[in-house]
Structure 1
Amino acid sequence: MGCEEEGGLSRGPLRSFKYVPFRFFWFASLASIVSFFMSTIARGWLVLDITDSAFMVTSINAIGLLPTLGLSLYGGVIADRMERKFILIVSDIVSFLTIFPLVILLITDKVELWHIFALTLIHGSSFAIAMPSRASLVSNLVPGGYMSSAVALYTTIFSAGQMVAPGIAGYLINSYGMVTPFATSASILIPSVIMLMKVQPYFVTEKVHSISDSIIGSIIEGLAYVRDHSVLLGLILMGVAATVFAWPFQTLLPVFARDVLGVGAAGLGWMGAMSGAGSITGSITIASLNNLKSVKILMLTGSITLGFLIILFAISRDYFVSRVILFGVGFCFQIFMTSNFTFVQLIAPDHIKGRVLSIRMIAFGLSPFGMLILGLGSEFLGPVVATTITATVSIILLASIIFFVSGLFSLDRYVKDLK
């Protein structure tokens, strides 16, 4: 079935929902991502209660994302070799088995700091291996003409998770204590697995064998492809700069909520929800655009604006103003991430897409270093100064990449030529 296009993007941002497998995938992924963000927020608050340390809060988040640095590359290889749906089902089961033990430990009052770190590391490892499969499965569920709609809808999953999970976690912590957010996070993984079992790929390309049959050889092949592709390399470098120096400030939201703004766990939930609402709005904005030129412009300007808004948040002392700024932060971050991901999906061929996307996800694997830098800076300089410095670094790096990496200013024409 054909579809009209203008400027390289299919019309109708919700068109992909007409395909039942994509609907099952979307709602299953939403449940999985909400579970991930909810457990992340709950672990951060639990660690803050136990240690009263901003550095330890950023450390627990860093531990959860650190496996992405190495395991996402392996995940990219298996995404190109194995059934992607099966990988996601196994990942959700492992995630359940890392979250539910915290429920038991909290009920029995036997939870210790090392329990939280160990379970978080396993959870993060499962998440890292599965993410390339989750991202690349999108292209197997809809035909090519619907890809822009599918990619935009896929990225809203993370926006929705970021919006819903902190609010639910904050409410449950404030009203019922620490057990309930972990129990809820584990429970919603059950329908996720059931829905994934119903997913039947609509469009599957024949697997193209790598030059090397070894895992290491396949990883090297993917790295070489990105290295020799200046446009993809530029997009990935932008992702690294944003996720290492801009995104980590969100791990300090519990500290800002308690120590800077004085609003506690309930206020933390609303702060996360406002950021998530901005993210949803950003994704819808990208999905509603009719041409790639507009998407490109928003990606480039949004990446720079993001850093300035984070600085404004850091220096704000008014709870209402801070929430408004967080809406803008979420909007700009999602504008950047959605458009960046869309261009990578449109450029990378399917036989190597899993590996290309896994390399892009290394940005999240590097983010723990940004978190640790931010955490240490917060210990010695305070959260306000540390956040201001890292946001400034993100502005400088992103501006440099945009101006010095060839091809980024003509992304829309490049994708059009590929078609």
Structure 2
Amino acid sequence: MSVTVPESRAESSQPQSGMARTFNSLRVREFRYLSGGTLSANFADWANRIGTGWLVFVLTDSAAQLGAYAFTSGIIGLGSTPAAGMLADRLPRARVVIAASLASVVLASVMAVLVLSGAIALWHVYILGSISAVTNAAGLPARQALVHDVTTPELLPNAVALNSLVMNVARLIGPPLFGVLAAVNDAAPFLAIIALQLIDAAAIRPLGLKARPRAGGPPRNPLRELWDGLRYVFSDRTLLSLFLIMFTASIVAYPYLSLFPVFAEEVLHAGSVGYGLLFAMAGMGSIIGLVLLANLSGMRRRGPVMLGCYFIHLTGIAVYSQMEHLWLAMLSLFLGGIAIGMGFALYYTLFQLHVRDDMRGRALAIAQMANQFFTVGALPMGLTIGLVGIQHGILLHVIAAALIILVVTMVRPEWRRL
């Protein structure tokens, strides 16, 4: 299902040049609303991650508990994503996003009251955090599908790049901002969530709550619809090729992101400052890459360009893993970030352009899942590092990911035509 799209988007597809072309999609009123809501929601997501992580650490003073909480919430969110995709196909997508935002307001309100009253306990964080993982996952496929619904096919590549840009801005600014707020008051991140999610709901509301008629007929058994979505993606050679490339990179190589604190301390000897700089450089690179891609949204042969971006990024990780000087590690992550910012956006663009509309929500949910498997891959990478050390461990995983992706692209060459 999708929202009813006003005529204003059709007026915004005129040829542009320079900076105007880079932000062309923002000329569409409905996309501006969606972008504002997405920015607010992603800041709220980071407030939740930082706030709950800080609470777990304050309550337990245990890195093991912190890891266990992150793993638990990550797995719950991952498992909830297919059902969220089904909701995006069965219900008005704007309504799904608004419901998820308002549910987050309720959960953050409960958490804030518990913290301010001094009654907060670890089991509260686990239960509320688990429910929050479900509500956050519930809105993601619908929000991704709305990018398609409020733009034209000509504007879609630009819109996907700008949507990713908005999320990366929140990723760059959110962690340090809410880290400071959490240090001031344990409840501050949750109070921020309340305001940010209400802003998100208000921004999405003008997109309309009335859905178009379903292209795939009346709703059927939910389990059957979930199965139909999985079967559609994994039987479509193009979508399966895209999924396998992202899944491989995510589960084999991308867990290196969770090791920034260890790398900064043990290899670079830069401590928490180095950790923050590594994180910032990767984020800044992604933002620049997305701006470049938004300006090149009319490109052809997106599949080969996407694949090239993945290999450049993997090369950047490999170089980073061998660096022992902070500024060289930062430079490697920055250059690799440019590539993966473009690669991720091209991945979602190709999914959006190829998928059937009646399967859009479920297909985008599966596409999103492929990007989330890095939480599962952290365990095998950690075991490898325990055997050979952090630098060699990251390098071995990057080489393995590159080889697997190379095999996938040779066996399944559909991406070449995209």
Aligned length: 404
SS of the residue corresponding to residue 22 of structure 2 reads coil
Partner of 2:203: 195
1:23 and 2:32 are equivalent in the alignment: yes
Query: Using the alignment, how far apart are the partners of 1:178 and 1:267 within structure 2?
Result: 25
How far is the alpha carbon of 1:207 from its aligned partner? 1.0
Aligned residues of 1:170 and 1:266 also touching (Cα < 8 A): no
Instruction: Indicate yes or no: 2:404 matched with 1:391.
Output: no
* Structure 1 pair 394–27 and aligned structure 2 pair: CA distance change class (3 A): same
Q: 1:339 to 1:47 in 2, by over 3 A?
A: same
363-372 vs 85-94, which deviates more?
Answer: 363-372
- Judge which range, 70-79 or 39-48, deviates more: 39-48
- Is 1:369 the counterpart of 2:372? The answer is no
Q: Which runs of 5+ in 1 are unaligned?
A: 412-419
SS in 1 for 2:207: coil
Name the CA shift for 1:69/1:384 in 2 (closer, same or farther; >3 Å): same
Distance 1:178 1:254, change over 3 A: farther
Structure 1 letter corresponding to 2:192: T
In structure 1, give the amino acid aligned to 2:199. Answer: P
Which amino acid in structure 2 is aligned with residue 406 of structure 1? P
| Structure 1: distance between partners of 2:403 and 2:223 | 34
The CA distance in 2 between the partners of 1:183 and 1:314, in whole Å, is: 38
| C-alpha distance in structure 1 between counterparts of 2:318 and 2:121, whole Å | 35
**Residue 215 (1) aligns with residue 246 (2):** no
Report whether the alignment pairs 1:156 with 2:165. yes
Counterpart residue number, 2:140: 131
Out of 250-259 and 186-195, give the one that drifted further: 250-259
Pairwise CA RMSD of aligned residues?
3.1
Partner of 2:362: 355
The letter for the 2-side match of 1:131 is: L
Matched, 1:316 2:323: yes
> What amino acid is the match of 2:317?
I
Query: Aligned partners of 2:256, 2:68: CA distance in 1, in Å?
Result: 13
What is the aligned-residue identity percentage?
22
1:273 equivalent in alignment to 2:280: yes
Deviations 1:41-89 (A, max 9, x none): 4545665674553x65554333233234432211111111101111111
Give the direction of change, closer, same or farther, for the CA distance of 1:378–1:80 in structure 2 (3 Å limit): same
Q: Give the CA deviation at 1:337.
A: 0.9
Residues 303 and 398 of structure 1 are in contact (CA less than 8 Å); yes or no, is this contact kept in structure 2? no
Q: How does the TM-score come out when normalised to structure 2?
A: 0.85
From 109, 117, 122, the counterpart of 2:126? 117
* Aligned residue type for 1:189: Q
Deviations 1:185-236 (A, max 9, x none): 443222112212232389x653123587111111222222223311111011
Q: Does 1:147 align with 2:147?
A: no
Aligned counterparts of 2:217 and 2:227: Cα–Cα separation in 1: 10
Moved more, 100-109 or 17-26: 100-109
* Contact 1:244 1:368 survives alignment (8 Å): yes
Structure 1 residues 20, 212: CA separation in 2 closer, same or farther (over 3 Å shift)? closer
Query: Is residue 275–residue 329 contact of structure 1 (8 Å, CA) maintained in 2?
Result: yes
Structure 2: gaps spanning 5 or more residues? 1-9
Seen in structure 2, the aligned counterparts of structure 1 residues 110 and 60 have a Cα distance that, compared at 3 Å, is same
Give 1:300's aligned amino acid.
L
Matches within 5 A, 1:32-181: 32-44=41-53, 47=56, 50-53=60-63, 57-104=66-113, 107=116, 111-172=120-181, 176=184, 179-181=187-189
1:313/1:47 CA distance change after superposition, 3 Å: farther
Deviating more after overlay: 22-31 vs 392-401: 392-401
Q: Which moved more, 1:150-159 or 1:104-113?
A: 104-113
* Residue type at the aligned position of 1:184: A
Tell me how far apart the structure 2 counterparts of residues 356 and 310 of structure 1 sit (CA, whole Å): 29
Q: What's the TM-score, normalizing by structure 1?
A: 0.84
Give 2:309's aligned residue.
302
For the pair 1:232 / 2:239, whether they are aligned, the reply is yes
Distance 1:327 1:169, change over 3 A: farther
Aligned residue identity for 2:322: I
**Shift in Å at residue 365 of structure 1?**
4.7
Equivalent residues of 1:44, 1:254 under 8 A apart: no
Residues 102, 323 of structure 1: CA spacing in aligned structure 2 closer, same or farther, 3 A cutoff? farther
Contact 1:167 1:273 in 2 (8 A): no
Q: Write the letter of the residue equivalent to 1:272.
A: F
CA contact (8 A) 1:132 1:357 kept: yes
Judged with a 3 Å threshold, the aligned counterparts in structure 2 of structure 1 residues 387 and 95 are, in CA distance, closer, same or farther, namely farther
Q: 2:250–2:372: 8 Å Cα contact kept in structure 1? A: no
- Displacement of 1:342: 0.5
1:255-274 alignment runs, 5 A limit = 255-274=262-281
Q: Quick one: distance in 2 between partners of 1:114 and 1:320?
A: 41
Counterpart position of 1:415: none
Who is 2:7 aligned against? none
* Alpha-carbon distance change, 306 to 352 in structure 1, aligned in 2, over 3 angstroms: same
Counterpart for residue 340 of structure 1: 347
C-alpha distance 238-352 of structure 1, shift in aligned 2 (>3 A): same
